[in-house]
Chains A and B, each alone.
Chain A
């Protein structure tokens, strides 16, 4: 009897989803609920939790929105640079012989095997005023350049860290792209530019959209790069949230900021998906 029940359960295969459901419940749903709980409450006198919208109102005040828009702007620049650099690379990769492409794409992924923090630290010593790059410049007779602690250094750090996330999705779209579409365009008399603009680009839109999502969102929420390469001069939204939690011990307000971030993420994802769907009609960017 029992055996049969077990078999029924096994048969339905739902049982295999259980670990996943538990995982989601513990590590995704529960923290989210906690964040929402913290965001909308305040610990009043005597340790009683009181419902309040004050945290959220404060999160939307101009002081904090400045940081928000600055983060959007920095992440936007980094994303654009990643796209401009990553797209041609992905295209070239897809046109290579499979063996070579595999080797080169591994080279792109290789740095990611190392911890991101370590790599960023490495850049610190490279870009330092007394670092290798500046020493080289001085040996060649140039004046040393202040690389570190500038806005440029942060953008550089963002592009460096997130570029693979732009290349890989676009590359995989190119790989799957039906070459006969391009050949057909060429046969029908389109020049190189027209072929690219009317066939290749629209067909790769899916990769571009997921690349942008994968670069923009983490760039926007990053918090170590600004500290290590930017010398904490320019605060980004991730720094703000981290600071509220760890430096200020303001869990309620920090959660409210996280909620604002979450709202942005949802809006952004929705926009991107909408774009992607419309794009399937084959219209131009």
Chain B
């Protein structure tokens, strides 16, 4: 058996798979069940300081090609977050990545400070949700200045808890954004949130299916985009740890993400395509591949694309 463990921002994970934010992420019990199903760590659904209502239903639709969601980031606020995260941490299960969100820079700081009190292993900052634009305007992840401002605000409020910024693919230059948050003190980045927003029309009723009309697009077709962005960021910022998220369904997908530079691999819509046991399925496939290729430690694969055969890489 290959050693699948990795260390990300000083936190040890038994395998590189983490539940992506927004999927099965509301309760401690659900997180524990995801770990039981094989995940190396979990990310909470985005946590707000105060209660935040989501969008009306329908909020998610999916088919064999893609998923479109505009859940609208519902959450009961920091008190419930503290209760659920506290319950999860008391079980001493796999690492907890607390994902936070806010509408204003200062509120990111306040939320981060409240969440830091629970002592999650890592704080992930959602500055890239594409389906609350009506409420808050363009995501902070779309501007070098805003992304850095949020990062600085969060960093100064959380002590030594590592801070990961979740980036948006919906930008002109994702490397510039990654560099700005790294310069502002981010300990790592998550590449990437959903793309779009996109829209789906029901032609019989002549209306958009999602109540919010538009929503973030995810699913297997996103993987090549995530792989390219991870490769770009890794090449420009080789020391910045990366969580690679976007269309990962199989062990081969996860290894591909790691080869271009991801230390952790986020799995979200994979739960839809392969069921709640997706994590176990992926780690089994990683083991099979490692055996075939005689790889002893999966962490040795991180960024190998950039050594040797990576020289031929010209985007």
Do they bind each other? no
Q: B-contacting residues of A (Cβ < 8 Å)?
A: none
